[in-house]
Amino acid sequence: MQVMKKTDRGLSNKNLLNTFVELIRRASSDLPVDVVTAIKEGLLTEKRNSIAYKTLQMILKNIKLAKEKSLPMCQDTGTPVFYVTLPNPPLSPFVKGGCSGIRGIINQAIKESVHKLYLRPNIVDTLTGKNLGDRTGPGYPVINFEEWEKDYIKVILMLKGGGCENVGTQYALPDSRVNAGRDLEGVRRCILDAVHKAQGRGCSPGILGVCIGGDRVSSYEESKRQLLRSLDDRNENPVLGKLEQSIMKDSNRLGIGPMGFGGKTTLLGVKIGSLCRIPPSYFVSVTYMCWAYRRRGFEYENEKVRRWLY
Ligand code: SF4
């Protein structure tokens, strides 16, 4: 109840706003350690002075510069996708206005981040093509809300690049085009087909988030959510864990390499989850993330950050 009092004084909102702005700065300019480590490991596998080697070197230089200068690491600052987990009803609204209060704070944080050059003002009205100026509008940013039993807020932000979003795809099994039946071998064929079709588009080396099952929407959503996992974690499901490893191995043998210039580093990671389905449907959804795998997060309690994530 102490939290409620603070909320009533409206203090949390200002502190939370500043925390969201800092979250966006970190996500846009400072790539998580697990991703940088994976790119460095990729560099070691490439032939010295090959185009793949030089491309990865350039990517690493770019990452370092962005961090030092607090500037976006890519000209495409991506679609901001937020995952907000709030304390459950006895403590809600944690912030004035509950979910809509948080939405307002996030919109404000986006506007401030555009002003501070952490994000580009490049959101347009789809029908007119008119730039909306401050990066907020219907559907932007994307915010997913959840509740949990804990008494603090958890927020994760992913900045999802447009080029890599374009090469994401979905299969409905069976799929005769890739000779994929409704089994794990069929799933494997679909995922490898997606990597092969992407080639260097979507700015490889990439990271795949995959969901098997669900309906069309939940399947895509879960595939994106898989990208919240750290690159070095292990799948709790041994069958899916094995599939992740085999896709990694086979993809990096395709010779696509960084930006499609050839080489061994086509993927940096594969994360696969599954959802229940009804018998008529069997979806395999693939979300492709580029090397600029920008995800950051924080936990927030008693008006301050208790922990930064990633
Ligand atoms: S796909 Fe990623 S690396 Fe490529 S332009 Fe978009 S954000 Fe940048």
Q: Which pLDDT tens digit goes with each residue over 79-100?
A: 999 999 998 865 555 566 778 8
Ligand 1 centre from 162 Cα, in Å? Answer: 7
Q: What is the pLDDT of residue 302?
A: 87
> What band does 45 get if pLDDT is binned at 50, 70 and 90?
very high
Tell whether the model's pLDDT for residue 9 goes beyond 80.
Answer: no
Domain ranges, ordered by start, for the chain? 2-29+74-161+294-309, 163-289
Q: Whose CA is nearest to atom 7 of ligand 1?
A: 161
Q: Average pLDDT of 248-265? A: 98
Amino acid at 151: D
Q: Whose CA is nearest to atom 6 of ligand 1?
A: 161
Per the rule left: phi > 0, alpha: psi between -120 and 50, beta: everything else, 264 is alpha
Q: Whose CA is nearest to atom 4 of ligand 1?
A: 203
Cα–Cα–Cα angle for 167, 169, 175, rounded to 5 degrees? 135
Ligand 1 centre from 74 Cα, in Å? Answer: 6
Q: What is the pLDDT of residue 96?
A: 67
Q: Whose CA is nearest to atom 1 of ligand 1?
A: 163
Q: Whose CA is nearest to atom 5 of ligand 1?
A: 76
Our mutation pick for probing the ligand 1 site, out of 290, 291, 295, counting the most ligand atoms within 8 A of Cβ, is 290
Reported CATH class of domain 2-29+74-161+294-309 = alpha beta
Residue 78 Cα: closest atom of ligand 1 = 7
R_g of the chain, CA atoms, integer Å: 20
Ligand 1 centre from 147 Cα, in Å? Answer: 32
The structure's pTM equals 0.93
Residue 160 Cα: closest atom of ligand 1 = 7
Q: What is the pLDDT of residue 88?
A: 81
Residue 77 Cα: closest atom of ligand 1 = 7
Please give the C-alpha separations between residue 146 and each of 97, 126, 208, 219, 222, in angstroms, as whole numbers: 15, 28, 24, 17, 14
Our mutation pick for probing the ligand 1 site, out of 31, 164, 204, counting the most ligand atoms within 8 A of Cβ, is 164
Q: What is the pLDDT of residues 283-309, one digit of tens each?
A: 999 999 999 999 999 999 988 999 999
Are 77 and 53 in contact, with CB atoms under 8 Å apart? no
Residue 75 Cα: closest atom of ligand 1 = 8
Tell whether the model's pLDDT for residue 19 goes beyond 80.
Answer: yes
CA nearest 226: which of 143, 186, 285, 167?
285
Q: Average pLDDT of 214-218? A: 98
Ligand 1 centre from 202 Cα, in Å? Answer: 6
Q: What is the pLDDT of residue 90?
A: 54
Ligand 1 centre from 77 Cα, in Å? Answer: 8
Are 257 and 52 in contact, with CB atoms under 8 Å apart? yes
Q: What is the pLDDT of residues 194-212, one digit of tens each?
A: 999 999 999 999 999 999 9
Residues with CB under 6 A from ligand 1: 74, 76, 78, 161-164, 202-203, 290, 292
Residue 159 Cα: closest atom of ligand 1 = 7
> Across all residues in the chain, what is the average pLDDT?
93
Q: What is the pLDDT of residues 144-190, one digit of tens each?
A: 999 999 989 999 999 999 999 999 999 999 999 999 999 999 999 99
Tell whether the model's pLDDT for residue 3 goes beyond 80.
Answer: no
Q: What is the pLDDT of residues 257-283, one digit of tens each?
A: 999 999 999 999 999 999 999 999 999
> What band does 122 get if pLDDT is binned at 50, 70 and 90?
confident
